[in-house]
């Protein structure tokens, strides 16, 4: 077993560089970096975690102007957290951004109604849509996102490792992706 901090310690540089590239102000909070997981699992999870962090900067955190207009601090926050729950490790990648734009997702996924009839979001369907190969809410790919393969690969990797990927999003409040993996494989 090795600490998940081996992956987490690379993320401050990623967040700093991406935020600078897109003109956003973002702070990164890390917790649980001493949580241990199988070395093979953490090596395989590097790319999915990196993709989710990149999405948090590119899609999740709003521009300074939008954040201030929404009554938020100008600097957005991305939180990486790992913890052990029973015989599993839970890794969360959360942002305090605008949440997943459900209208944009629905527009790009014709025929998919991602709103439940009682007003509650169907998280499983939302995850199915955003993890579909080729799905993107961007018209053009940039350095951060828009190629439509990252979420599909992230989910496939988690599935291959016997884990689960979940999403929780709230408009105007942010998004949390939770990855649950076995401690060892």
What are the pLDDT digits (tens) for 66-77?
999 999 999 999
Distance, CA of 121 to CA of 111 (rounded, Å): 16
How far apart are the C-alpha atoms of 164 and 37, rounded to whole Å? 15
Residue with tokens 């975690």: 49
* Mean pLDDT computed over 82-98: 96
pLDDT per residue as tens digits for the range 96-142:
999 988 777 777 776 555 554 555 556 777 788 888 777 776 666 55
- Residue-level pLDDT at 132: 78
Q: What is the pLDDT of residue 184?
A: 83
Measured distance CA(102)–CA(119) in Å, rounded: 12
Look at residues 77, 41, 51, 33 and name the one whose alpha carbon lies nearest to residue 148: 51
């Amino acid at each position: 077993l090795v600490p998940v901090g081996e992956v987490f310690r690379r993320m401050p540089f990623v967040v700093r560089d991406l935020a600078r590239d897109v003109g956003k102000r973002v702070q990164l909070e890390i917790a649980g970096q001493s949580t241990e997981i199988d070395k093979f699992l953490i090596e395989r999870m590097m790319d999915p975690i990196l993709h989710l962090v990149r999405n948090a900067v590119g899609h999740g955190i709003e521009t300074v102007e939008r954040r201030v207009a929404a009554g938020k601090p100008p600097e957005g926050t991305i939180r990486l957290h790992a913890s052990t729950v029973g015989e599993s490790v839970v890794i969360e990648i959360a942002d305090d951004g605008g949440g997943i734009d459900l209208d944009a997702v629905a527009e790009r996924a014709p025929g998919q109604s991602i709103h439940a009839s009682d007003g509650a979001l169907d998280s499983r369907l939302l995850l199915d849509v955003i993890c579909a190969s080729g799905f993107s809410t961007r018209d053009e790919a940039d350095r951060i996102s828009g190629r439509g393969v990252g979420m599909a690969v992230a989910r496939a990797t988690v599935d291959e490792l016997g884990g689960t990927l979940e999403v929780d999003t709230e408009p105007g409040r942010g998004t949390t992706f939770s990855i649950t993996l076995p401690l060892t494989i």
